[in-house]
Structure 1
Amino acid sequence: MKTEHEREQLINAINLLLHQAYDSTLEEIYALLKKIEDEEDENDLRAYHAAKSDIDNNSLIAWDDMKKEIANERKKDVA
């Protein structure tokens, strides 16, 4: 996991490259990022449905806790 400073440097470097990119490249990058986000959402839903179908987990894990855990995992994956 990257530190906040390392993360900020990476974002700044990406922004610099984005500002220099052609419009067609920006559209491709956007499409790729959207695809990644959609896949992550689909994986989150699969995990949710798997947990929901397991009666033991369903009775022990609150939805708010699940959302927090998913958000924390996403932050780890991004960094």
Structure 2
Amino acid sequence: MKTEIEREKIIKAINLLLKQAYDSTLDEILALLQRIEEEEEEEELKAYDQGKEDIRINGTVSWEEVKKEISQEVA
């Protein structure tokens, strides 16, 4: 994950290039970003569905069990 300063530098560089881009290039960039967003949403939904299915098949784990496992791993 990038720091806020790194993100700001990248955003400024992107903005500079976007201001210089042709309209057709801007359209392509927008379409690409929208596809990326849709793919990320699909991946998140798949992970959510897989998690629900895992819970349905295997049940859930109580918080007490989680704490017990963590304490055993630390020891």
Partner of 1:5: 5
Q: Structure 1 residues 24, 49: CA separation in 2 closer, same or farther (over 3 Å shift)?
A: same
Q: How does 1:9-20 map to 2 (within 5 A)?
A: 9-20=9-20
Q: Which amino acid aligns with 1:4?
A: E
TM-score, normalized by length of structure 1? 0.69
CA distance in 1, matches of 2:8, 2:48: 31
Unpaired segments ≥5 residues, structure 1: 61-79
- Structure with larger RCO (C-alpha < 8 A, sep 6+): 1
Identity %: 63
Secondary structure, in 3 states, of the residue corresponding to 2:45? helix
Q: What TM-score do you get using the length of structure 2 for normalisation?
A: 0.72
Query: Aligned Cα RMSD in Å?
Result: 1.8
Q: How much has 1:23 moved relative to structure 2?
A: 0.3
Structure showing greater radius of gyration is 2
Q: Measured at CA, do residues 58 and 39 of structure 1 come closer, stay the same or move farther in structure 2, by a change above 3 Å? A: farther
- Return structure 1 stretches of 4+ with deviation > 6 angstroms: none
Unaligned runs of 5+ in 2: 62-75
| Inter-partner Cα distance in structure 2 for 1:3 and 1:36 | 22
Partner of 2:52: 52
Closer/same/farther in 2, CA of residues 51 and 18 from structure 1, 3 Å limit: same
Q: What is the count of residue pairs matched by the alignment? A: 60
